[in-house]
Structure 1
Amino acid sequence: MSKNDVGENAVIIPILRAGMSMSNRLTKRLPKADVARISMRRNLHTLKPFVAWDEFEQIKEPESKRVFITDPALATAGSILKTLEHMKKYGFKDENVVIMAMFGCQSGIERIFKEHPEVKLFLVHMADGIREDGYLLPYNGDTGDRLYGVRENEYVI
């Protein structure tokens, strides 16, 4: 397999906005991979996520694709769980999923493996825990806000 073939049967799914910070680098390592973004929002009172939009329809034969979900912060795991649930509607398979996160906490990891035991997870750093508002401890702010300088999470739906 040549360097240009790397990622030929793969899909990179960044959870926007923060997931782009990881997927942009991953596409350099997997140049043939498709990229299908998903935009997630959450209600600030309930912390429940919902899908604003996605690009999954563009992926041909999703059941055979190796999937890399990128999201730097795995706190409540709500966004990743909602993404996995949403992906099933298009035919993606749990056994082909690799979740890549920078920071996470034990409770979020446990939620993922309880509902999706076949996925794989790569985590760089284990956080101390999670705050009542759903952010990791120690608190570093909203990852997307910090990366892009735009306050997106100041509204309630």
Structure 2
Amino acid sequence: MSTNITIAIGSDHAGFDYKEMIKASLEAYEVKDFGTYNPESVDYPDFAHPVAEAVENGAFTFGILVCGSANGVAITANKHQQIRAAICWQNKIAALARQHNNANIICIPARFVSEELAREMITTFLNTAFEGGRHGTRVNKISC
């Protein structure tokens, strides 16, 4: 693992427990928690936007967002022009999100994956390189 990687992390109430577990597993990295800070009901955009902004402006290498289905945080993060947030539910999806899409935020559906799988996907995501080439041509066409 590279300690040069910096990570912005956030969640809503449905992803709070997973976010805390994930943070604890990332001790080799610099991680900033953008909230939420307890399991009380909150609005996911209040946490997804700051994580996306931190990655978009280059303050952090990658982002991790967690909510119940991962849809809300992914939709929100992808409103930012330089963000490619990928919902991942299998390890191979996490690898392909990096290899083919140069995803810079992984979105975890806490209600649908185990803690073990969430940690595995994050490790894969952080350690998989973008392949570039024909994929780079495609990725360059994403932003409006």
TM > 0.5: no
Alignment TM-score, normalising by the size of structure 1: 0.41
Q: Rg: which structure is higher?
A: 1
| TM score, norm. by length of structure 2 | 0.44
Which has more strand, going by share of residues?
1
Which protein is richer in helix relative to its size? 2
